[in-house]
């Protein structure tokens, strides 16, 4: 009963926070806490069922072990695919590096448990596990809430649709960006059919390896998709997601367009864009276009790292606290001994 009451209370808090402002990063943490207490309540309820609780716990532990063991293999395999299809940039190697790091942590843990008796080394490995666990919980929270946020209801009748750039191949729009533009064109057509006076803002500057600005290439793509040129505004200076949002909002304000905005990006990028829009105090909703499945693990890792860097002070403090707990206990034990 206790776990059930706590789970219900935390779930109500989570739902209220989502209702008030779904773009809060902390909502992801509340979601995981609610799921955790719900899981403990479910296990407690199973004690009264004909299924032996020991069997349920054993099955859960085996599944968790297999998932933990298989995760680095999956990440490394995905990293190899990213290396082959998307190039050798660091951003495309995150899943490969994460898989290698997990293997290193597993190997260190097994070696320490089996062969090491030095308290300080054991304390160091425990600290590594605690910090890794912290990031694992945060990443799980981020992925789960991102999936939930992407399915929340959105206002699609907005005064403008902002399409975020994502890089070109010379002067060509790659599939990732094409998916965003197709989604934006679909939203615009529905709005026009409903009688809305809506414009499309294509946002993106010109990179060193690009022949034209992203905005120019995106505008040409939309015109070929029968979007009228007068319905397209070009923002050709932005080089980051924050600049995409801020510069596009400034451009619309200068044209006298105010009201609710809609940003279109890929589905893995939706939640971080929403978090940034809240920080910029923009009245903006975000929707996502589909992304190739092989691209998702590395993309989510990249978004996760970007969000961690936005809140680096909080995460650094948590890492210091968790990382110092085991060494402090070892020091106290050595002193008392």
Q: Is residue 27 in a domain? A: no
Selection from 266, 223, 160, 303 nearest residue 215 by Cα: 223
* 179 lies in the same domain as 145: no
* 275 lies in the same domain as 202: yes
Q: Is residue 8 in a domain? A: no
Cα–Cα distance, 124 to 204 (Å, whole number): 45
pLDDT given for residue 226 in this prediction: 93
Q: What is the CATH number of the domain that holds 245?
A: 3.40.50.620
* 75 lies in the same domain as 124: yes
pLDDT tens, residue order, the chain (337 aa): 577 899 999 999 999 999 999 999 999 999 999 999 998 888 777 766 666 666 666 777 777 777 777 888 999 999 999 888 877 777 788 999 999 999 999 999 999 988 888 888 888 899 999 999 999 999 999 999 999 998 886 655 789 999 999 888 888 898 899 999 999 999 999 998 888 889 999 999 998 878 899 999 999 999 999 999 999 999 999 999 999 999 999 999 999 888 899 999 999 999 999 999 999 999 999 999 989 888 899 999 999 999 999 888 999 999 999 988 887 876 776 666 5
Q: Is residue 135 in a domain? A: yes
Helix (H) or strand (E) holding 160: strand 160-164
* 134 lies in the same domain as 215: no
* 183 lies in the same domain as 140: no
Q: Is residue 9 in a domain? A: no
In the DSSP assignment, the letter for residue 181 is H
Q: What share of the chain is helix, strand, coil (3-state, %, to 5)?
A: 70, 10, 20
* 103 lies in the same domain as 60: yes
pLDDT given for residue 165 in this prediction: 92
- What pTM was estimated for this model as a whole? 0.86
Q: Is residue 35 in a domain? A: no
* 317 lies in the same domain as 279: no
pLDDT given for residue 334 in this prediction: 63
Q: Is residue 47 in a domain? A: no
- Concatenate the DSSP letters of all residues of 241-287 into one string: HHHHHHHHHHHHHHTT--S-EEEEEEGGGHHHHHHHHHHTT--EEEE
* 235 lies in the same domain as 186: yes
* 221 lies in the same domain as 327: no
Selection from 196, 156, 198, 186 nearest residue 284 by Cα: 156
* 183 lies in the same domain as 253: yes
Domain range for 134: 52-151+312-336
Q: Is residue 45 in a domain? A: no
List all residues 6 or more positions away from 318 whose beta carbon is below 8 Å from its beta carbon: 134
Total number of domains in the chain: 2
pLDDT given for residue 70 in this prediction: 87
* 146 lies in the same domain as 181: no
* 134 lies in the same domain as 166: no
Task: Classify 216 in phi/psi space as left (phi over 0), alpha (psi -120 to 50) or beta.
Answer: alpha
Q: Note the residue count of the chain.
A: 337
Q: Is residue 304 in a domain? A: no
Measured from the Cβ of residue 299, the count of other Cβ atoms closer than 10 Å reads 23
């Amino acid at each position: 009963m206790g776990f059930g009451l706590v789970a219900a209370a935390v779930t109500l808090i989570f739902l209220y926070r989502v209702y008030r402002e779904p773009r809060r990063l902390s909502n992801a943490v509340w979601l995981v806490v609610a799921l955790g207490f719900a899981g403990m309540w479910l296990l407690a309820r199973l004690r009264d069922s004909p299924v032996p609780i020991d069997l349920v716990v054993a099955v859960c532990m085996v599944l968790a072990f297999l998932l933990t063991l298989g995760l680095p293999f999956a990440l490394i395999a995905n990293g190899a695919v990213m290396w082959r299809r998307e190039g050798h940039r660091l951003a495309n190697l995150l899943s490969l590096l994460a898989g290698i790091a997990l293997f290193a942590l597993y190997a260190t843990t097994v070696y320490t448990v089996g062969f090491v008796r030095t308290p300080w080394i054991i304390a160091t490995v425990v600290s590594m596990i605690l910090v890794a666990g912290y990031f694992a919980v945060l990443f799980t929270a981020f992925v789960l809430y991102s999936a939930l946020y992407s399915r929340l209801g959105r206002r699609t009748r907005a005064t403008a649709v902002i399409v975020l750039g994502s890089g070109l191949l010379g002067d060509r729009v790659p599939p990732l960006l094409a998916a965003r533009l197709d989604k934006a064109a679909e939203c615009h057509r529905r709005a026009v059919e409903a009688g809305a006076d809506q414009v499309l803002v294509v946002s993106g500057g010109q990179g060193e390896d690009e022949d034209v600005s992203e905005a120019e290439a995106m505008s040409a793509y939309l015109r070929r998709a029968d979007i009228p040129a007068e319905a397209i505004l070009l923002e050709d200076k932005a080089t980051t997601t924050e600049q995409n949002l801020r510069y596009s909002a400034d451009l619309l304000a200068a044209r006298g367009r105010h009201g609710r905005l809609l940003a279109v990006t890929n589905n893995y990028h939706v939640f971080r864009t929403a978090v940034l829009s809240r920080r910029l105090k923009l009245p903006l909703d975000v929707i996502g276009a589909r992304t190739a499945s092989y691209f998702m693990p590395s993309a989510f890792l990249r978004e996760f790292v970007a969000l961690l860097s936005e809140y680096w002070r909080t995460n650094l403090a948590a890492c210091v606290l968790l990382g110092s707990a085991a060494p402090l206990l070892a020091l106290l034990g050595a002193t008392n001994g």
